Structure 1
Amino acid sequence: MAHQAQLRNKIFIVALVALAFGCRLKYNEGLTELPLFNSEQLSLTMNNGLAFSAGKPFSGRIFSFYQNTKDTAEIVGFLNGREHGEWKKFYPADKKKEVRYFKNGQKTGSYNAWWENGNKQLEYIFVDDEYEGTCKEWNEKGELSRIMNYSKGQEEGEQKWWYDGGKIKANYVIKDGRRYGLLGTKNCINVSDSVFKN
C-alpha cells in the first residue's frame, strides 16, 4: 500500500515537472533565442511585408534609440523575415508606450498601449491575427472610452463607447450578425436626451 502511494507521488511529480517544462518551452519558443542587434549597425529592408538583411530574410531582435537622448525607442523581432516575438515601444525617458506580440507574422496575444502620461490607452487581445474577446480603450485622462467584444475578428456581443466625461456615445449589441441599440451616429439621438431636456 505504501509502495503504491510512493509510486503515485513519483508519477505525479514527474508529470508536473514535464508539464511545467513543456509549457515553458512552448511559451518561449523562438522568442528569447533570437540574436539582438543595434539598428544603427544593421541594414534592414522591407519587401512584401518581409524584413531582409544582406538579401536574406532576417531573423533577430533589433533595438533602436531616440536620436538626441539615446533612450531606447523600440525593440522589435523577426523570424525568417516575419514579425515575431515581443515588440516594445517606449516614450523618451524609457516610459512604456506599447507592448505587443507576433508569431510568424501574425498578431497574437495581448496588445497594450499607454499614453505618454502613463495612463493606459488600450488593451486588445489577438488570436491568429484577429481581435478576440474583450478589447478596451481609455482616453488620456484615464476614463474608459470603449469596450468592444469580438469573436474571430468580428464584433460580437455588447459594444459601448463613451464621450470624454463619461456620457454614452454608443451602446449596442451584435447578435447573429445584426446590430441592436444606440449606434451613436450623427442622426441617432438618445431619446432621453431629446425628450427630457429642460
Structure 2
Amino acid sequence: MENSNQAGFHNVNGLMYKNQKPYSGYIFSFFPQTTDTMEVSGYYLGKEHGNWRKYSINKTKTESRLFVNGSKEGELKACWPDGRKKLNYHFFNNEYEGNYKEWNYQGQLTLNLNYHKGYEEGVEQMFYDDGKVRANYIIKNGRRFGLLGTKNCTNVSDSIFKN
C-alpha cells in the first residue's frame, strides 16, 4: 500500500501509472494537513481493481465499492458523513443491475429504481424530499407505464378530490 502523494503516480485515460508503468496495488490518500485516511483504492495493471473505500473526516466510512479488472462489480454503498444511508447501487459487468436506491440527508428515500443489463426494468419510483411521489412507473419490455411526473403530474386523487 502506497501514499498517493508520493511522486510518480499519475492517471492517464483511466489507467493508474507509477514511474511510467501500469500500477498494481493499493493507494491511500489522507485528508489535507492530517494523517487521517480519506480514500483507499486498488489497481491491477493500471486498471481499477479490488475493494475501494472512502471515509469522512470523522473516520466514518462513506463509500465502499468493488472493481474487477477495471469494471464496476457488486454493490456500491455510500453514506452521508454522519453514517446515514446515501445510496446503494448494484453493478454487473460495469452496468447497473438490480435495485438502485438513494436517500436525502434527512433519511427520506428519493429514488427506488430497478435495472437489468444497464437499462431500467420493473418498478421505478422517485420521491420529493418530503416523501411525496414525484414519479411512479413501470418499465416492461422497454415501454413505460404509469405516473411520470414530467409535466407537473399529480395524482388524480390529489387534483380532483381536494376538499
Report the TM-score range of the alignment, normalised by the length of the smaller protein.
Answer: over 0.9
Residues 23-82 of structure 1, C-alpha deviation per residue, up to 9 Å, x if partnerless?
xxxxxxxxxxxxx11122242111121111111111110011001232110000110000
Query: What is the CA–CA distance in structure 1 between the aligned matches of 2:2 and 2:110, rounded to whole Å?
Result: 38
Alignment counterpart, residue 68 of structure 1, candidates 2, 20, 33: 33
Q: Which runs of 4+ in 1 moved over 4 A?
A: none
- CA drift at 1:137: 1.0
**One-letter identity of the residue aligned with 1:78:** Y
Alignment counterpart, residue 103 of structure 1, candidates 68, 91, 94: 68
Query: What is the CA–CA distance in structure 2 between the aligned matches of 1:174 and 1:67, rounded to whole Å?
Result: 45
TM superposition score normalised by structure 1: 0.79
**One-letter identity of the residue aligned with 1:152:** K
Alignment counterpart, residue 88 of structure 2, candidates 123, 127, 144: 123
Q: Does 1:59 align with 2:14?
A: no
RMSD across aligned positions (CA): 1.2
Q: Does 1:189 align with 2:154?
A: yes
Alignment counterpart, residue 114 of structure 2, candidates 149, 168, 171: 149
**One-letter identity of the residue aligned with 2:29:** S
Query: What is the CA–CA distance in structure 2 between the aligned matches of 1:186 and 1:70, rounded to whole Å?
Result: 50
Contact 2:58–2:81 under 8 Å retained in 1: no
The equivalent of 1:37 in structure 2 is 2
The equivalent of 1:31 in structure 2 is none
The equivalent of 1:32 in structure 2 is none
**Secondary structure, aligned partner of 2:35:** coil
**Secondary structure, aligned partner of 2:5:** helix
Query: What is the CA–CA distance in structure 1 between the aligned matches of 2:88 and 2:118, rounded to whole Å?
Result: 15
**One-letter identity of the residue aligned with 1:74:** E
TM superposition score normalised by structure 2: 0.95
- CA drift at 1:136: 1.1
Query: What is the CA–CA distance in structure 2 between the aligned matches of 1:94 and 1:42, rounded to whole Å?
Result: 26
**Secondary structure, aligned partner of 1:93:** coil
Alignment counterpart, residue 163 of structure 1, candidates 111, 122, 128: 128
**Secondary structure, aligned partner of 1:193:** helix
Query: What is the CA–CA distance in structure 2 between the aligned matches of 1:186 and 1:52, rounded to whole Å?
Result: 48
- Which runs of 5 or more residues in structure 1 are unaligned? 1-35
The structure whose residues are more often strand, as a share, is 2
Q: Which has the larger radius of gyration?
A: 1
